[in-house]
Amino acid sequence: MDTNSTDARPVLEGPDIERVLTRIAHEIVERAKGAEDVVLLGIPTRGVFLARRLAEKLAEVTGRTIPVGSLDITMYRDDLRMHPPRALARTEIPAAGIDGRLVVLVDDVLFSGRTIRAALDALNDIGRPRAVQLAVLVDRGHRELPIRADYVGKNLPTSLRETVKVQLAEEDGRDAVLLGAKPDAKAAEH
């Protein structure tokens, strides 16, 4: 995750984020033809909050309860050996499981694609979904793997000298996507 930067400028704010999530919810219903077998899995930390919000919106649109869970990818990271071990976050799979379902992974920022690769590996150990899709609030580019999102809240062309920070009310007290300058010019690792 990108670090704090002093001169960060908001590119999305509270109402924008709400609107973006509503649109993604409708896109999911449209593509999944009613979202009957959809399971939402958020990637901790902020992906989980986004997944919960999406589930609420999907429930409003479809009138059904959409199972929502969280998928921690820490153990599946390809840079696990390059840092001190990270504390594990919560993996919570809905009771009905994911076998044969359409799993929509939800994350805040799509960057190198390595987090999503790890998530696909993690899913492999949990079950066999019918299909896997990806929803992200922001796509900032700079992919290092052949991965793309099915639902994108906002495409945000960035340079590697910039940071993208997502704030959500559940964790940070307000909703915003902040674009700032990186304190040092070192390429971000995500």
- Which residues here bind another protein, judged by CB under 8 A? 72, 75-76, 80-93, 121, 125-127
CB of 37 to another protein, least distance (A): 19
CB of 80 to another protein, least distance (A): 6
The runs of H, that is alpha helices, within 72-168 are 114-126
User: φ, ψ for residue 18 (rounded to 5)?
Assistant: -55, -45
Q: Specify the residue, 33 or 83, whose C-beta has the smaller distance to another protein.
A: 83
CB of 43 to another protein, least distance (A): 15
Residue with tokens 């949990």: 126
Q: How many CB atoms lie within 10 A of CB 81?
A: 7
Q: Specify the residue, 75 or 147, whose C-beta has the smaller distance to another protein.
A: 75
- The C-alpha atoms of residue 144 and residue 66 are separated, in whole angstroms, by 32
- Structure letter (DSSP) for residue 3: P
CB of 90 to another protein, least distance (A): 7
Q: Specify the residue, 27 or 92, whose C-beta has the smaller distance to another protein.
A: 92
CB of 88 to another protein, least distance (A): 4
Helix axes 14-31 and 46-62, enclosed angle (nearest 10): 60
CB of 83 to another protein, least distance (A): 5
Q: Specify the residue, 36 or 145, whose C-beta has the smaller distance to another protein.
A: 145
* Contact by Cβ (8 Å): 25, 89: no
* Contact by Cβ (8 Å): 134, 120: no
Q: Specify the residue, 14 or 127, whose C-beta has the smaller distance to another protein.
A: 127
Q: How far is CA 15 from the centre of its chain?
A: 19
Q: Specify the residue, 59 or 75, whose C-beta has the smaller distance to another protein.
A: 75
- The C-alpha atoms of residue 51 and residue 69 are separated, in whole angstroms, by 8
